[in-house]
């Protein structure tokens, strides 16, 4: 049946499309951790809209809140006008996220994409300090608009004319375990002949997802926070993909005990995947003049409704976090076993909470495993220049469904391992002849 849909996509949709090339089917329904295509085939979802549906597809309670709101004729879009829906979201965010963590932030609703929050954060840090330079890190990814692209490390996305005022420094572990890159940054800041002008901001992901699941250590984050504070530099944490519970706590930086000046949130902050981005601003940094930073779709009331429902449903107690600890423990045990069984195919594994990566010798091997997974009913994405498979299941995934997904992935890796062995044997035979 899917063939009747494909002509319009291939002939009329732009060539920029990407995910649909790797997962060539037409999806019709979704629920929880499952996607169903027009032929009725089920796929376990380890992609989760690149982190936009942390709570699974069409969660019934979030969906009920949305349908009730639509039936009430509540405003759908409202710029930055006051609405009951926005009040309910702000109240829920303060009650279930900020107050329990003793955090004080102002909330700015930016344009609907994560890159909008990043653009606003950089713009605000430059306005506050009167300085231009921004420090970003190797392997970073911060979005697809101009400023965000200038901060990203990947040459495939970053265009050479989009690097004004950005200084690139090595992320934690980039130069190996023996070199502390915070020492390097500290020296640059202290030496007036280093060539580094005092930055307006330092921006980072605590876990670099698109860069290959690179995890900053707690100590590195603490030292970075202390260094930026000592020099009056805004510390911006991009929590767009690893916030909203993905690492086990609501914010990815919580266990490091730091308090960034600016925090970028998007993706799952809208609950059901509703477009919404949020910039958290330390009170002293809130120096905007009215209307100085805005956007037509910064008042998505459907996202406010779903986002508030998600906060009440999943963050009013510790049930979700307890469930996640159980799921994480399962994945960690599976990872350790996988490394023992297939060391020539899977070179390394890493992760935290419900974001994990499997590193392969190269992009070709990772792509082969990804393709085999799709054929067997599992959707999983690659990152890290294509060499790393990214496990990103819903935070709410049932243990038995997680186990099924890992079994599919295991079979695909074993198949790749057997293929490597056969290819190696063929080479030996040719050599003998």
Shared domain for 328 and 197, answered yes or no, is no
Q: Are residues 337 and 307 in the same domain?
A: no
Domain boundary among 263, 291, 314: 314
How many structural domains comprise the chain? 2
The residue segments making up the domain with residue 176 are 74-314
290/383 same-domain check:
no
Buried b (16+ CB within 10 A) or exposed e, 228-254: beeeebbbbbbbbbbbbbbbbbbbbbe
* DSSP string for residues in 291-360: TSS--TTS-BHHHHHHHHHHHHHHSSSSHHHHHHHHHHHHHHHHHHHHHHH-TTT--EEEEETTEEEEE-
The residue among 314, 348, 369 that closes a domain is 314
- Statement to judge: residues 11 and 40 lie in one domain: yes
The tokens describing 178, both together, are 């023996």
Please check whether residue 36 is in contact with residue 29, taking contact to mean a CB–CB distance below 8 angstroms.
Answer: yes
- 390 closest CA partner among 431, 422, 412, 360: 360
pLDDT given at position 222: 98
Our CA angle for 156, 159, 161, nearest 5°, is 165
Q: Give the span between the Cα atoms of 413 and 398, in whole angstroms.
A: 23
Full-model pTM:
0.93
The H-or-E segment that residue 229 falls in is: helix 218-231
Phi-psi group of 176: left, alpha or beta (phi > 0 → left; psi -120 to 50 → alpha; rest → beta): left
pLDDT at position 202: 98
Do 297 and 337 lie in a common domain?
Answer: no
Last residue of a domain, one of 256, 283, 314: 314
Question: How many CA atoms within 13 Å lie on the side-chain side of 14?
Answer: 3
| 21, 65, 120, 433 from 286: Cα distances, Å | 43, 32, 12, 74
pLDDT attached to residue 430: 43
CA angle 406, 47, 272 (to 5 degrees): 125
Q: What is the pLDDT along the chain (433 residues), one digit of tens a residue?
A: 777 788 788 888 898 898 888 899 999 999 999 999 999 999 999 999 999 999 999 999 999 999 999 999 999 999 999 999 999 999 999 999 999 999 999 999 999 999 999 999 999 999 999 999 999 999 998 887 777 778 877 666 555 545 578 999 999 999 988 888 999 999 999 999 999 999 999 999 999 999 999 999 999 999 999 999 999 999 999 999 999 999 999 999 999 999 999 999 999 999 999 999 999 999 999 999 999 999 999 999 999 999 999 999 999 999 999 999 999 999 999 999 999 999 999 999 999 999 999 999 999 999 999 999 999 999 999 999 999 999 999 999 999 999 999 999 999 999 998 876 665 544 444 444 4
């Amino acid at each position: 049946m899917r063939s009747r849909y494909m002509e319009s996509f291939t002939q009329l949709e732009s060539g920029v499309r990407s995910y649909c090339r790797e997962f060539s089917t037409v999806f019709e329904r979704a629920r929880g951790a499952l996607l169903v295509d027009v032929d009725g085939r089920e796929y376990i979802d380890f992609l989760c809209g690149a982190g936009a549906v942390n709570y699974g597809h069409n969660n019934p309670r979030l969906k009920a809140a949305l349908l009730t709101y639509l039936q009430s004729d509540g405003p759908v879009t409202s710029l930055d006008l006051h609405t009951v829906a926005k009040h309910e979201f702000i109240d829920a965010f303060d009650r279930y996220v900020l107050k329990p963590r003793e955090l004080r932030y102002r909330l700015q609703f930016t344009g609907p994409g994560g890159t909008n929050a990043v653009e606003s954060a950089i713009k605000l840090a430059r306005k506050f300090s009167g300085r231009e330079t921004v420090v970003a890190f190797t392997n970073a990814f911060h979005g697809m608009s101009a400023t965000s692209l200038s901060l990203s490390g990947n040459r495939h996305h970053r265009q050479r004319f989009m690097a004004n005022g950005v200084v690139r420094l090595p992320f934690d572990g980039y130069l190996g375990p023996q070199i502390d890159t915070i020492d390097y940054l500290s020296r640059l800041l202290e030496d007036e002949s280093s060539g580094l002008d005092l930055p307006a901001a330092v921006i980072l992901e605590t876990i670099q997802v698109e860069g290959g699941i690179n995890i900053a250590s707690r100590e590195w984050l603490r030292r970075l926070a202390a260094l930026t504070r000592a020099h009056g530099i805004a510390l911006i944490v991009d929590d767009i993909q690893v916030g909203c519970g993905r690492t086990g706590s609501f914010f990815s930086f919580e266990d490091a005990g730091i308090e960034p000046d600016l925090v970028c949130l998007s993706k799952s902050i809208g609950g059901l995947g509703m477009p919404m981005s949020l910039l958290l601003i330390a009170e002293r940094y809130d120096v905007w003049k009215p209307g100085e930073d805005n956007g037509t779709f910064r008042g998505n009331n459907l996202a406010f409704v779903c986002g508030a429902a998600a906060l009440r449903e999943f963050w009013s107690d510790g049930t979700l976090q307890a469930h996640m600890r159980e799921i994480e423990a399962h994945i960690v045990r599976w990872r350790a076993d996988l490394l023992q069984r297939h060391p020539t195919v899977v070179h390394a594994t890493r992760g935290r909470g419900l974001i994990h990566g499997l590193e392969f010798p190269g992009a070709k091997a990772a792509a082969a495993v990804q393709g085999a997974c799709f054929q067997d009913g599992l959707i999983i994405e690659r990152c890290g220049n294509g060499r790393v498979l990214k496990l990103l299941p819903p935070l709410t995934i049932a243990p038995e469904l997680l186990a099924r997904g890992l079994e599919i992935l295991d079979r695909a890796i074993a198949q790749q391992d057997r293929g490597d062995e056969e290819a190696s044997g063929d080479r030996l035979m040719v050599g003998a002849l």
